[in-house]
């Protein structure tokens, strides 16, 4: 059975790679490189620069086009259909390689176990998966701001921008980390007593950071986010909020 190595590569800085990640990359027979189109060409370029930096031997690479998720209609159904399409793209890229690779590597942004679909897609194809953990965007965010993720003995809830918009601040939660926000879900909250630490494109040369009371920081975050999108065509951000 083909083994797939799901290798966490951190938030964009090659220095985020662990020694285990470098060893796994060099052990592969084939490396899958996702292509998300011209708008997100930076993402493929970062992966290629990482490979150029850490490969110690020639390893074949196969570029595959990542299908676009249909965002209309039911969310769960859209994600299911998208997973099926991505799985088909993986399968086609692997099948095209001769001789058949015994070990296929995929460089996963952040960590394969946190808000990433790679494990589910590997399972859909019946591939034996081995995960090499990576630095998450939340770790990179807290490091960039030099702020702890949690308070002393406190819990942290990790959620999505979609759920924050729909449900608001969860009851009984002091620290809230938000991922996969398409932009400004924090605006649905009453900002009173909330501090935010925000980061976009963490680890990349155009990384942006903002922090402070939510009411004051929100306009700065919106402006920084818009500027990155205008310059690069895409933006990935994450933020931590805490109630006083």
Render pLDDT for 200-243 as a digit per residue (tens, 0 to 9): 999 999 999 999 999 999 999 999 999 999 998 889 999 999 99
Q: Is the four-CA dihedral 156, 160, 162, 165 of positive or negative sign?
A: positive
What is the predicted pLDDT for the residue at 29?
95
Which residues constitute the domain of residue 215?
138-243
Q: Would you say residue 66 has pLDDT above 80?
A: yes
Q: Which of 205, 102, 192 is nearest to 218 (CA)?
A: 192
On whether both 131 and 32 belong to a single domain, the answer is yes
What is the predicted pLDDT for the residue at 41?
77
What is the domain-level CATH number for residue 176?
3.30.950.10
On whether both 92 and 163 belong to a single domain, the answer is no
The mean per-residue pLDDT over the stretch 1-24 comes to 92
Q: Which of 136, 88, 99, 122 is nearest to 6 (CA)?
A: 122
On whether both 26 and 83 belong to a single domain, the answer is yes
Q: Would you say residue 68 has pLDDT above 90?
A: no
On whether both 120 and 22 belong to a single domain, the answer is yes
Mean pLDDT (the chain, rounded): 93
Residues counted in the chain:
244
On whether both 16 and 78 belong to a single domain, the answer is yes
The mean per-residue pLDDT over the stretch 66-75 comes to 85
On whether both 125 and 7 belong to a single domain, the answer is yes
Show which of 135, 163, 181 is a domain's final residue. 135
On whether both 161 and 176 belong to a single domain, the answer is yes
Number of separate domains in the chain: 2
On whether both 91 and 172 belong to a single domain, the answer is no
d(CA 238, CA 62): 30
d(CA 205, CA 4): 30
């Amino acid at each position: 059975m083909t083994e797939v190595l799901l290798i966490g590569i951190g938030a964009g800085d090659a220095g985020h790679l662990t020694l285990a990640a470098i060893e796994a990359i060099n052990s592969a027979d084939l490396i899958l490189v996702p292509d998300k189109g011209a708008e997100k060409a930076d993402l493929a370029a970062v992966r290629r620069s990482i490979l150029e930096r850490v490969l110690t031997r020639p390893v074949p690479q196969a570029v595959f086009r990542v299908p676009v998720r249909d965002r209309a209609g039911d969310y769960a159904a859209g994600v299911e259909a998208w997973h099926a399409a991505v799985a088909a793209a993986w399968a086609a890229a692997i099948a095209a390689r001769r001789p058949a690779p015994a070990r296929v590597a995929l460089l996963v942004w952040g960590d394969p176990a946190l808000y990433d679909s790679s494990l589910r897609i590997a399972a859909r194809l019946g591939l034996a998966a081995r995960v090499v953990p990576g630095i998450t965007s939340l770790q990179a965010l807290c490091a960039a701001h030099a702020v702890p993720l949690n308070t002393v003995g406190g819990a942290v809830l990790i959620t999505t921008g979609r759920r924050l918009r729909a449900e608001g601040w969860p009851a009984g939660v002091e620290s809230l980390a938000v991922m996969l926000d398409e932009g400004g879900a924090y605006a649905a909250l009453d900002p009173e007593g909330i501090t935010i630490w925000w980061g976009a494109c963490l680890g990349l040369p155009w990384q942006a950071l903002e922090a402070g009371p939510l009411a004051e920081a929100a306009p700065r975050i919106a402006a920084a986010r818009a500027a990155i999108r205008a310059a690069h065509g895409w933006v990935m951000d994450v933020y931590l909020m805490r109630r006083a």
